[in-house]
Structure formats: C-alpha cells, structure tokens
Structure 1
Amino acid sequence: MSAHDGRLLIIFYDEVPTTEAVSLALLDHTGISFAAFAKRDDHSEKAAMWTRDPLGFLPSGRLAIDADRETIDALLTSPLATTLGGVAYLCEGITPLMPQLNVGERFSGTLQLCCFQRRTDINAVQLQQYWLEEHTGVALSTQNTLGYRQNRVSRSGEPHFDGIVEEYFPPEASHSMEAFFADGDNETRMWEHIENLTKSSERFLDLDRSEVIHLSDTRII
C-alpha cells in the first residue's frame, strides 16, 4: 500500500475530449509521472448494470494525473480543466492495489468510478477512519478488484464530492455479479460479500448521493 499522495482528477460530465486532445494538452507539463484517460464507449457499456445516477451528475469520463506538487499546482492554476471541458478535483489518497497498465494500453476490463458525498452525520476525521483505514481491506476482500485507488477530495469542483474511488474490474465482472464479488461459483459467499461490503460502505458514504459509472481506461503517460 502506498503512502498518502496527491492526484488531480478532471471529471467530465458532458462531452468528452478525444484522447489526442488530452495528450496534446499535457505536453507542456513535464512533471507528470502518470496520466490515464477514461471514457464511456461500447466496451464500458457492457457494465451498464452497475450504473447509479441518483444526483443527475453522472460522469462521462475522467482524467487522472499524478505529478510532483509543483506540477499539480501549475495544472490547477492553468486553464487545463476548462479547456478540456471538465471539472478539477484535487485529491489526496492511497493506492492499495496498483492496476497493471502500460503506457498506450487500454485496460482489458472496466474502471468503476464512484463519486460520493459523505454521510451528513460524520465529519472529515471519521471519513478518514471509516473509509481510508477500515474499509480498504473489506473492499479488496469482497470484490474481484484488479486495481484500487481511494481519493479524498481536498478541493472540490462542482458538483461537490468528498471522495472519488477508482476501481478496476476484469471483463467478466461487467455483466456477472458472481464475477464482480470475487466468490467463484459460490452464491452464498457472494451474498455474504455483498452484505459485508454494503455494511462497511454505509458507515461513511451516502448511497443516495453517490454516482457510479464504468468507463474504459487508457494510460497515456
């Protein structure tokens, strides 16, 4: 598990730029160590059964950027997000499980993007404890996760979110509950996983204020 580190997320809610436009916009920023661009397409639509849109702010794409602090600050003050047509979210978080993704490669499965607001009866300290400390192991043990990044939003655009989760699943999880919840062919175990995951999640996030979408993700840097 990595230490807490920074990430800039640009979330798209309407039209999504092309991969070429995103790559071109990042050319002048040499301090970037990682960038991945995800969007809805025919491949990700196979996982439409997992979509949740209670707020009416369903993302249509996301750009994730890891860089040194100076570069992140420069990106935040630059017109990058508005030029591309997205909304910037400055985050700090952890990557308990790094997805295997080479530059120029599209992930074979899908990226589940979950943007949530915390429960109104907990504070930021409790969110840190329940989500970034206690929930991590539950999430990894109850799902067939191939990559997992938890982003606590420190500077939110609009719409506002307290946390953004980037979670990678294999192709078969797109349309199969059994494959999604890491149980093999054991239906009883699957429902145990669902119950444990839901119970842990409901400690910190408001399910009625959480957007969930699956996207196709390509690493560009």
Structure 2
Amino acid sequence: MEKIIYLVWRDAQTDSETFAQRLRGEVANQLLALGACGLQVNVVDRQVEAAAGLRQANSQPLMDGSVALWVDSAIAQFRQPFEAVLASAVARLAGYLVSESVPIRNTRFPAVPGERTHGFAQLALLTRPAGQDPATWLDIWHNQHTQVAIDTQDNFLYVQNLVLRPLNADAPKFDAIVEECFPPAAMTDPQAFFDAVGDEAKFQRNLATMMESCQRFIDFDKIDVLPTSQYLLKAATAS
C-alpha cells in the first residue's frame, strides 16, 4: 500500500465552504467507490477561520487543502482514475508519493470516520535548505527535531510525510509535508499552541527551542503553512 498526498486549489469562483463540502462529500464518495484503501481530506473551511493568522504563504496562490489517498499502487495507470476524479473538482492539483511516519498517533481525540477531527490540523510544506545534503537534512528532521516538536507543542497528532517523488510534472518542489493537530485554543493563543497556557516563561522557552530547531532544516523563504479542518473518511487498510 502506498500513500499519495494531493495538494488542491479551488477555482476563484467557488467559495471555500462549497469547495470543502464538495471534497468531503461527492468527491470523497467517488474516490471510495474506486477502491481507495484510505482517504483523508484536509481543507480550509469556516471552522478554521480563526486560525488565519497562522497561515504562511510563499506559494502563490496558497493551496486550499489536501487529499491523502492510500492506494495499492501509485503507478500512473493505477492512480489515474483517482486523479481524474480530483482533477474534475479542483482548479489545480499537485500529487506526491510520500513515506509516512507517525510520531504521535491521535489517541486523545480519535478521529471518527466521516466527521470533523477535534481542533484543527496544520499542514506545513517544507523545503530542504540549499546546500544541505539529503542525509543530513533527514537526520536533523527525524532524529533530532522530532522530540523537540513533541516536547514544545500541544500537538495530539504528528505525521511526517517524506516526499519520495512528485507525481505531476508541474508540482511545486517540496521535500516534506507535515500534518499536526492542535486543540481549538491553539488557533488564536500561542501559549496554547506551545503547551504553556498561563506560563509565559515556559512559552518563551518552548518557542525559542522550537524555532532554533526548525532553523536547522527548514528553508523559511519557501515554507507554506495552512491551518485546515481534517476529515478522515476512511482509515487506511489494505484492500
């Protein structure tokens, strides 16, 4: 089984709420009917309007969400039917074959298939700094930064998707796609985001530690960050 993440953009004439409902409704139903082994939609909707201040947009325009598909094979001929369904519903898509690692599984607020996951899900699209070799970059991210992210934030889901290759010729260059879920308060309260509610000293320590770690392996001139609502439509299982 392989995991594909499609970044998706809506047409300017389609409002965000209509787009979100279409992705998690008719589009999701079609993808499941085609035999997707797993399906998750992350999309900007009214539930995450309060988190707009967390957006970072180096890609123009910023994507409107993502669709994660688990399939038996990502080979072109086998993924094409899924891609055709998505292409018919979005203005633009960019697919990536990824290797998924889950340092924090969501056991605090388990996702219920078909329902919105508690809080919000932050997508971060990462690019390796120029001049840093892939092995060094991966070692810093996985073996050094992972525990920092766990220790300094109130994230209850943490998924690291290493991009193995883009699946579309015009897909933007990204090396990783990170998914993290946070409680609702973290949309607007930095102390809640950094697991330091009511403790300014702890907040400043956690913020500084996190930023120092991120600067070692993230090109901040290219990062995109998008707060979304997460909808798990089908937990990944082998067909």
TM-score by length of 1: 0.89
| Correspondence 1:120 to 2:130 | yes
Change (3 A) 1:108 1:188: same
Structure 1 residues 9-57: Cα deviation after superposition (integer angstroms, max 9, x where no partner):
011123446122322331344350x311121111111111111112324
Amino acid at match of 1:83: S
CA contact (8 A) 1:55 1:208 kept: no
Amino acid at match of 1:94: S
Match of 1:191 among 198, 204, 213: 204
RMSD, aligned α-carbons = 1.9
Query: Which runs of at least 4 in structure 1 moved beyond 6 Å after TM superposition?
Result: none
Output the CA distance in 1 between the equivalents of 2:61 and 2:10.
9
Specify the alignment match of 1:35 in structure 2: 39
Identity %: 25
SS of aligned partner of 2:112? coil
The range that moved more, 144-153 or 15-24, is 15-24
1:76 shift after superposition:
3.4
Match of 2:79 among 56, 76, 83: 76
The range that moved more, 18-27 or 130-139, is 18-27
1:95 shift after superposition:
0.6
User: Counting strand residues as a fraction of each chain, which structure ranks higher?
Assistant: 1
Amino acid at match of 1:38: N
SS of aligned partner of 1:183? coil
1:150 shift after superposition:
0.5
The range that moved more, 76-85 or 127-136, is 76-85
Structure 1 residues 85-111: Cα deviation after superposition (integer angstroms, max 9, x where no partner):
322111113011122212112012111
Match of 2:224 among 195, 211, 214: 211
How many residues matched?
A: 214
Specify the alignment match of 2:117 in structure 1: 107
Match of 1:97 among 84, 92, 104: 104
Give ranges in structure 2 of 5+ residues lacking alignment. 12-18, 235-239
TM-score by length of 2: 0.83
CA contact (8 A) 1:29 1:71 kept: no
Output the CA distance in 2 between the equivalents of 1:124 and 1:7.
21
Give ranges in structure 1 of 5+ residues lacking alignment. none
Change (3 A) 1:76 1:128: farther
